[in-house]
Amino acid sequence: MADIIFKILLVGDASVGKTSLMLKFVDNHFENSYSSTIGLDYQTKIYNYKGYNIKLQIWDTAGQERFHSITSNFFHNADGILFIYDITNRNSFEGIKNWMKESEEIDNSLQKILLGNKCDLNDSRDVQKEEVEKFCNENNIDLFETSAKDNINLEEAFKRIIELVFKTKEAQNLLKNKDLSSSLIINDNIKKNNNAKCC
């Protein structure tokens, strides 16, 4: 059973590999083509971190990103965002600035990291890592170059966003002491039973 849920969003231009990254991380599965209308809202994966069973809800977009029509509902209750561009597509990196702006207008308190996906295609690279590192320093955001195809840096990237969200929740006292919370549930049930008896 999960102790806590983290809602993580995948945001970036069409074709950068959002669906591929999600399915590779959750299912260890990669396809050479995915329909943009695969249509699943999210996939879940239990991730153990610091003794907590964290249920990751990883939200993908079902093609809405093509029209920049991602609704504010998508961002509702989110904890973290993976911004994703494709290292072989310069426009997709330029697009990140807009995605960041849009997300900040909706919610400025989310944890964020940046992923340069398709790093297996280094020969066709169109975005230099040094340039992105400079952007990341200025914006105080971590960068991971990933490959959903060859499973490069996916664990590391997800671990980092989990770490960042965990720290925020810890600072806000939102992580319940697990032993305490299960005993609270038992007490609550006893109370309910007592109420049932007396009324």
Q: Which residues bind ligand GDP (CB under 6 A)?
A: 14-20, 31-34, 36, 117-118, 120-121, 147-149
Contact 141, 132 (CB under 8 A): no
- Closest CB to ligand GDP among residues 112, 118: 118
3-state DSSP assignment of residue 8:
strand
3-state DSSP assignment of residue 88:
coil
Give 60's contacts (C-beta < 8 A, 6+ positions apart). Answer: 10, 18, 19, 22, 38, 40, 41, 42, 43
- Closest CB to ligand GDP among residues 32, 173: 32
- Closest CB to ligand GDP among residues 33, 195: 33
Separation between Cα atoms, residue 17 and residue 19, nearest integer Å: 6
Q: Least CB distance from residue 57 to ligand GDP, whole Å? A: 17
Q: Which does 149 bind (CB under 5 to 8 A by kind): Mg ion, ligand GDP, none?
A: ligand GDP
- Closest CB to ligand GDP among residues 11, 162: 11
Separation between Cα atoms, residue 169 and residue 121, nearest integer Å: 37
| Window 12-71: residues binding Mg ion (CB under 5 A) | 18-19
Q: Which residues bind Mg ion (CB under 5 A)?
A: 18-19
